[in-house]
Amino acid sequence: MRHALLAFALFTAVLGRIGHAQESPFFVTYTHHMEEPGNLEVETSATSGVPRSGQRFYVAPYTELEYGVTARWTSELYLEGDSAWGDSTVFTGWRFENRYKPLTREHWINPVLYLEYEDVNEASRIQKEIEGGGPDLGSSHRELAGERAHELETKLILSSDYHDWNISENFIVTKNLSESEGVEFGYAFGAARPLARLASGTNCRFCRENFMVGAEMYGGLGSTLGFGIHNTAHYFAPVVSWAVSDNSSLRFSTGFGLTTESNPVLLRFGYSYEIQGFGTRMAKLFGRKP
């Protein structure tokens, strides 16, 4: 873990030499930037785990609908699944999250309050966050899909924009309402910036200002039954996002497992499309004032 923290620091220092923001490149770490009011963002993503001995290769896709309720309140709905090589494909459940920004203006540190309700089974492997020890990567869907978990998850999101950088820290607390597992903890840290500060003046999609690069580190911290990093999953992941158009972007990440409870490599891919003025269009369609 000490070596991983050093690598994270060196990575961000190197990025500081080469050059805000479009879509955040993070897959796990949240920033304080909210969805624009009335806009709907549709994203499809997938998490793939390269297995260790005794594990199976899997692909865990999910669809995310993110809506800007107000400038300070964003809501999201997730639908997710999992497909494992030599096993089966299952629907693992849904999640409903809300993020609220208590401060109206930008500050040096911007807090965001996060609350999510999850109705998933134990086969869930999208790993939008890691709490406790991490997901079960060795058992089959037959063993896991029948075990449902109704969880309440909270996060304290702290995020700062410094020059071209965004630096964010997330602290996670989760309670499984279905089992007596105590309260589980997790974390995520991220730093990212665009490759160029100013637009090049030409209409191109491969210009440096359309790319954002960074790194994030995330993992579990055990629970009230056993707090710490022993027998928990942790990853260090370089990330990149590309603004394909004015309202769509691609994100990529290659996470490197730091413990034996992690996959050796965690591959992530995401595509998002933003529908601007969705709320206004729906209000007009139903004859209501936006």
Q: CATH number, domain at 74?
A: 2.40.160.40
Q: What is the pLDDT of residue 205?
A: 83
Q: Is-contact 38 272, C-beta < 8 A? A: no
CA atoms within 13 A on the CB side of 89: 6
What is residue 150's three-state secondary structure?
A: strand
Q: What is the pLDDT of residue 289?
A: 60
Other beta carbons within 10 Å of 284? 12
Q: What is the pLDDT of residue 201?
A: 64
Q: What is the pLDDT of residue 200?
A: 62
Residue 9 CB partners (closer than 8 Å, separation 6+): none
- The helix (run of H) or strand (run of E) holding residue 67 is strand 58-70
Beta-sheet pairing, 89-100 with 73-84: antiparallel
Q: What are phi and psi of 256, to 5 degrees?
A: -110, 120
Q: What is the pLDDT of residue 20?
A: 39
Question: Kindly report the CA angle at 254 between 12 and 230, in degrees rounded to 5?
Answer: 85
Report the distance separating Cα 156 and Cα 111, nearest Å. 7
290 in any annotated domain: no
Q: Report the DSSP beta bridge partners of residue 157.
A: 112, 170
104 in any annotated domain: yes
171 in any annotated domain: yes
Residue-level length of the chain: 290
Report the distance separating Cα 243 and Cα 251, nearest Å. 9
152 in any annotated domain: yes
29 in any annotated domain: yes
Q: What secondary structure letter does DSSP report for 70?
A: E
Domain span at residue 210 reads: 2-285
Beta-sheet pairing, 183-194 with 211-223: antiparallel
Q: Can you list the residues of the chain whose pLDDT is less than 70?
A: 1-22, 198-202, 288-290
* Residue located via tokens 């969805």: 35
Residue 286 CB partners (closer than 8 Å, separation 6+): none
* Lookup: tokens for 106: 């930008």
Nearest to 131 by CA among 167, 80, 182: 182
Q: Is-contact 157 116, C-beta < 8 A? A: no
Question: Number of folded domains in the chain?
Answer: 1
pTM across the whole model: 0.89
Report the distance separating Cα 268 and Cα 240, nearest Å. 11
57 in any annotated domain: yes
Report the distance separating Cα 186 and Cα 188, nearest Å. 7
Q: What is the pLDDT of residue 53?
A: 85
Other beta carbons within 10 Å of 70? 12
Other beta carbons within 10 Å of 47? 24
The strand ranges marked E within 163-247 are 165-176, 183-194, 211-223, 226-227, 234-245
